[in-house]
Amino acid sequence: MLGASRITPFLWYATEAEDAARFYTAIFRNSRIGAIARYPVGGPGPAGEVMTVEFEIEGQSFIALNGGRQDFQFNDAISFQIHCETQEEVDYYWERLAAGGTPVQCGWLKDKYGLSWQVVPRMLPELFLKDANTAERVMQAMLKMKKLDIRKLKEAAQ
């Protein structure tokens, strides 16, 4: 198994586990595909088809499963947050993860597989911790955004 994570997110896809793992590892620079297990004869999936794909992003291990059921869908209750240092990083991750997906609000998006992501400037929590008035101005600015704009968030904090 990749990495030594104590907790490994296990992601259920109907049939797109390998495609999703390759999509994510193509976006994140420090990532890789690990073991790919296939359904054996007599398993719940077609023999020889991909069952699970281990992959790693920035040191975090994941497992993607082809579970074969369309009724198991991701929802907004779980998301992965990406902490970005610059606007260029925000733009990079936003454009790639939102491709074929749906931009939401406040830096959230759903990728083309329905998985929710938050693309967030690392400095954002600091703006909310300054004082109540600053936090309110930053919140009001953020509520008007889909992809977060660091310059506009900093301006709102002034």
pLDDT tier for residue 5 given thresholds of 50, 70 and 90: low
Strand ranges (DSSP E) for the chain?
10-13, 31-38, 50-57, 60-66, 79-84, 102-103, 108-110, 116-121
What does the domain layout of the chain look like in residue ranges? 10-66, 79-157
Predicted model pTM: 0.90
Q: Provide the CATH topology of domain 10-66.
A: 3.30.720
Q: What is the pLDDT of residues 88-128, one digit of tens each?
A: 999 999 999 999 999 999 999 999 999 999 999 999 999 99
Closest by CA to 143, choosing from 102, 116, 101, 105, is: 105
Written out in words, the top-level CATH class of the domain with range 79-157 is: alpha beta
What is residue 112's predicted lDDT score, i.e. its pLDDT?
97
